[in-house]
Chain A
Amino acid sequence: MKIWEMTALELGRKIKSGEIGVAEAAKASLEQIGALEPEIHAYVTVDEDNALKKAAEIQKRIDSGELTGPLAGVPAAVKDNLCTEGLLTTCSSKILYNFVPTYTAEAVRNLEKAGAVILGKTNMDEFAMGSTTETSAFGATRNPWNPEHVPGGSSGGSCAAVAAGECFYALGSDTGGSIRQPSSFCGVTGIKPTYGTVSRYGLIAYGSSLDQIGPIAKNVSDCAAVLETIASYDKKDSTSIPRTDCDFTSALTDDVQGLRIGIPRDYFGEGLDPEVKAAVLSAAKVLEEKGAVVEEFDLSLVEYAIPAYYVIASAEASSNLSRFDGVKYGLRAKDYEGLHSMYKKSRSEGFGPEVKRRIMLGSFVLSSGYYDAYYLKALRTKALIKKAFDKAFERFDVILGPAAPTTAPRLGESLSDPLKMYLGDIYTVSVNLAGLPGMTVPCAVDSKGLPIGLQLIGDCFQEKKIIRAGYAFEQSRVYQEPELAKNVRTARDAAGDGMSGRREPGAARADGTYMGGVYTPDKAACIASDKITGYKADGTGKGGARL
């Protein structure tokens, strides 16, 4: 078995036993990155030099017995909306193209304390607004299972990086399905924890009442171990919840005897791809055969979750994104007349079409005269949706359904019709509205060769139940890697240079984005050219969204 093929915990054990060195592990990831990035573009920034420096440092601390955790020395990637001190953090937006945070997000700090080697920052939909990772200002990420298809979004870079072996696990964020849907499209496992479980300190906010950080990895065990590491009560996040039950790995038992699983009929109606439906129902069968009690039921209100979600998320986004004004960081427009003109011009140049669309909608639903009719109505709907879940969890331990209605669409297919794209979130958004934990576990590959994900939803604070169900299901299936990731050696040999995307250290960049020793894709070129994205990021090209 090659190093990159290992799970995070397998690698962690081999590092602990001295069989594999931390630097060797980091190099294995960097080699995959070097060979695959030109095609996949999962990363916005690869921090090669620092990663190798950090690897040496962590190796010493492991050798001295100071670091003993299961993830010590294991290379990881972080979504580019999580602040990392000294390392470019762009939210895949032009408005933050040169932002270098002065502090590190709490979740990332928790990983660092556990000995993680952070390889770099992963691509995403701009400000996490999108379902395909095509709204990134720096070019779309492609699905490692088929580069003609999207990886899903908004944590598409994190999920693609895990699937392609470009890291051993990654952090994502989930506001309306942004961990679970791309996990489904990329054939990896991802957890969105109960709201308040992982500190949001240092997560650049989109919809604060819905945002939650979570792990993405090759399997349930890795996800449980990472979640256990990043979960913490944090005074710096006033919505953080003190929990004493974060020993998630204790739930990794192949035992679902008597576990009550509910299948919402409303999740299997019109719009669901027949192959996805069959795969998810056959996964339920596997759990039933293992002793779970599986029953259908009516959840109700499912169709109201999307309109409620888009009102609430857009409203919060319009408020959260008002801080980007060209004063303290990020892009400032060149020509303006006075302060207000500078604000408006900087924002109009810096934000992409999807972000503008949501800021406009959010500003509208919060404006006087419409606040009650739209915003408060959505918050009342949210209360009803929460109640419907409360009722369901009186009968069931776990709700099982698909993570998305289809497998990954082709690039350029989704952005032309935003409303249609929003409808793809139907099985994920209600989980955020109700603050529940949800997890995607890969369960099959469709006839086009694209992965299908199973979604398991638990009641608040009941991550262990979904972890147990996911782990038990996973025992019936062997983890599959995309062919592309396995053929790296051939790709490298053909290219004659494994690190074909690499820049020489110290190369200066005209736009100032190139930090010492940090590799970044040529962002200016990404914006100007349609080579990587298939559409122009300014919205003028094929499939590009316009406001």
Chain B
Amino acid sequence: MANVISDETIEYVGILAKLELSGEEKEEAKKDMGRMLDYIDMLNELDTGGVEPMSHVFAMHNVFREDVVTNGDEREKILKNAPEQKDGSFKVPKTVE
């Protein structure tokens, strides 16, 4: 395997991805990612010099609309999906001491 993923890299990617992996999952992830990157490295065979990265196939410019509220108050409906709620708001663990 050409791409060897270090423990530090998996740790870092886990932070970016907001995932908590078990020891076994980390080992699997290192192997999986290494294999995928080996495969993806095939792209290096291509000369892409001078080629603009294409994010969208159609040349669309920023699509703007007026910042006007069109929907009604759906607080109650939306809060029905909340894992926890309090006083008409989403409840989350304490974040500021």
A364 adjacent to B54 (CB under 8 Å): no
**Chain B window 12-31, contacts with chain A (Cβ cutoff 8 Å), 1 for yes, 0 for no:** 11101111110011001100
**Chain B window 32-67, contacts with chain A (Cβ cutoff 8 Å), 1 for yes, 0 for no:** 110111011011111010011111111010010100
- Which stretch from A14-22, A38-46, A373-381, A440-448 is at the chain B interface? A373-381
> With A235-B65, A239-B56, A547-B25 in contact, do A99 and B81 touch (Cβ < 8 Å)?
yes
A303 adjacent to B42 (CB under 8 Å): yes
> With A195-B57, A381-B46 in contact, do A546 and B93 touch (Cβ < 8 Å)?
no
Asked whether any CB of chain A lies closer than 8 Å to the CB of B80, the reply is yes
State A360–B16 Cα separation when bound (angstroms): 8
State A341–B56 Cα separation when bound (angstroms): 36
Tell me the smallest distance from the CB of B5 to a CB of chain A, in Å: 8
Asked whether any CB of chain B lies closer than 8 Å to the CB of A325, the reply is yes
**Chain A window 357-396, contacts with chain B (Cβ cutoff 8 Å), 1 for yes, 0 for no:** 1011111101100000010111111111010000000000
> With A307-B42, A380-B48 in contact, do A460 and B57 touch (Cβ < 8 Å)?
yes
Tell me the smallest distance from the CB of A129 to a CB of chain B, in Å: 14
> With A209-B56, A383-B52, A547-B21 in contact, do A367 and B16 touch (Cβ < 8 Å)?
yes
B46 adjacent to A379 (CB under 8 Å): no
- Which stretch from A182-190, A284-292, A326-334 is at the chain B interface? A326-334
On chain A, the number of residues with a Cβ less than 8 Å from chain B's Cβ atoms is 71
Q: Which residue of A lies closest to B17 (CB)?
A: A363
B42 adjacent to A347 (CB under 8 Å): no
Asked whether any CB of chain A lies closer than 8 Å to the CB of B83, the reply is yes
B33 adjacent to A361 (CB under 8 Å): yes
CB-contacts of A152-177 with B (<8 A): none
A347 adjacent to B18 (CB under 8 Å): yes
Asked whether any CB of chain A lies closer than 8 Å to the CB of B84, the reply is yes
Chain A residues with Cβ under 8 A from B35's Cβ?
Answer: 419
Asked whether any CB of chain A lies closer than 8 Å to the CB of B82, the reply is yes
> With A304-B42, A342-B92 in contact, do A386 and B54 touch (Cβ < 8 Å)?
yes
Tell me the smallest distance from the CB of B14 to a CB of chain A, in Å: 8
Grouping DSSP codes into helix (H, G, I), strand (E, B) and loop, the A interface class, with mixed when no group exceeds half, is helix
Tell me the smallest distance from the CB of A386 to a CB of chain B, in Å: 6
Asked whether any CB of chain A lies closer than 8 Å to the CB of B86, the reply is no
Asked whether any CB of chain A lies closer than 8 Å to the CB of B78, the reply is yes
**A307, A318, A328: which contacts B43 (Cβ < 8 A)?**
A307
State A408–B1 Cα separation when bound (angstroms): 30
Q: Which residue of A lies closest to B50 (CB)?
A: A380
The number of chain B residues touching the other chain, given as a range, is 35 or more
Tell me the smallest distance from the CB of A311 to a CB of chain B, in Å: 6
A209 adjacent to B55 (CB under 8 Å): yes
A338 adjacent to B40 (CB under 8 Å): no
A384 adjacent to B39 (CB under 8 Å): no
State A257–B58 Cα separation when bound (angstroms): 31
Asked whether any CB of chain B lies closer than 8 Å to the CB of A502, the reply is no
Chain A residues with Cβ under 8 A from B78's Cβ?
Answer: 102, 328
**Chain A window 506-534, contacts with chain B (Cβ cutoff 8 Å), 1 for yes, 0 for no:** 00000000000000000000000000000
State A306–B13 Cα separation when bound (angstroms): 23
State A330–B84 Cα separation when bound (angstroms): 10
State A381–B35 Cα separation when bound (angstroms): 20
A383 adjacent to B39 (CB under 8 Å): no
B28 adjacent to A360 (CB under 8 Å): no
Tell me the smallest distance from the CB of B79 to a CB of chain A, in Å: 9
**Chain A window 105-132, contacts with chain B (Cβ cutoff 8 Å), 1 for yes, 0 for no:** 0000000000000000000000000000
**B28, B40, B81, B94: which contacts A328 (Cβ < 8 A)?**
B81
Asked whether any CB of chain B lies closer than 8 Å to the CB of A351, the reply is yes
Q: Which residues of A contact B (CB under 8 A)?
A: 98-100, 102, 195-196, 209, 235, 238-239, 241, 301, 303-304, 306-308, 310-311, 318, 322, 325-332, 336-345, 347-348, 351, 356-357, 359-364, 366-367, 374, 376-384, 386, 418-419, 433-435, 460, 546-547
- Name 7 interchain pairs, CB-CB below 8 A, sorted by A: A310-B40, A318-B16, A327-B82, A340-B18, A378-B40, A384-B48, A547-B32
- The 7 A-B pairs of least Cβ separation, nearest first, read A379-B53, A435-B57, A332-B83, A329-B81, A380-B48, A383-B54, A238-B63
